Amino acid sequence: MVAVLVYGCADVTWLNNAWVRRHADQIVVTCNHSGEVYYITCDDNHWPLELINCSGRGDINILVY
């Protein structure tokens, strides 16, 4: 039997009303309607996305590039 341990966070594929860019263990989230920017760091193999609030005008989903 072989055990494989994986460290790090999975890619974020989309967030409502936001652009998402990944740089190693950090994502940069920019809200479409306000331009507000969030810098989120991978924490214990998950993204603390509950810190992001891009609610507002529009229902646009943006893919990670």
- pLDDT at res. 57: 55
Name which of 22, 23, 35 is nearest 63 in CA terms. Answer: 22
Structure tokens at 63: 């893919």
- pLDDT at res. 43: 92
- pLDDT at res. 62: 47
pLDDT per residue, tens digit, the chain (65 aa), is 888 777 889 888 778 889 999 999 999 999 999 999 999 999 989 999 888 888 865 444 544 44
Q: Which residues contact 36 (CB under 8 A, 6 or more apart)?
A: 30, 54
d(CA 52, CA 15): 10
Prediction pTM value: 0.71
**Cβ count near 17 (within 10 Å):** 20
Name which of 39, 33, 40 is nearest 56 in CA terms. Answer: 33
